Structure 1
């Protein structure tokens, strides 16, 4: 996806929690199915055009929106880190076992230790 395409999709995401767009609304707006919307939202989560907005894709809110509110951004960051810790928790043990078999270097676990901070 080009930067121009991402910019167009980014501009379509409403600003502010009160204006959050649902999957259905984005499907209609973009003329695509929910899976394609999810893929675009994922790409937009990684997209950094230099502005001060973050795409909020929180399980605690209904819909998707851009926010420049520091409190919302901090809360969303905590939510993302919490999900990441949960998802990656088993990897630390896998890494230890693979290290015992000479398959990986334990330095990788330092990354996972950083997530705990």
Structure 2
């Protein structure tokens, strides 16, 4: 039998330094748009983003809001790295502890998006 060919549509992945949605901020509110920019959120929605990678805060976040998956894997400050003893996978066979400084490059392994 012939297999039906399914057309694969491209997945739009966007990124920013600041938070693109107010619900992503977990701390006190005093910096306005930096803590969840509705303008930035509207831009990535207009682009049809399905996954958005962001930074700025020091919280590990992987959540979906309104059909968009938001992900952050923060580096934090050196003191925060020592306190939390984060382990970051750098290959499928090994991992490294972060102590005083982050690695020169980070490798994000592919994740199941849909």
TM-score bracket for this pair, using the shorter chain length: under 0.3
Normalised by the length of structure 1, the TM-score is: 0.22
Normalising by structure 2, what TM-score? 0.22
- Which of 1 and 2 has higher RCO (CA within 8 Å, sep 6+)? 1
Larger Rg belongs to: 1
The structure carrying a bigger strand percent of its residues is 2
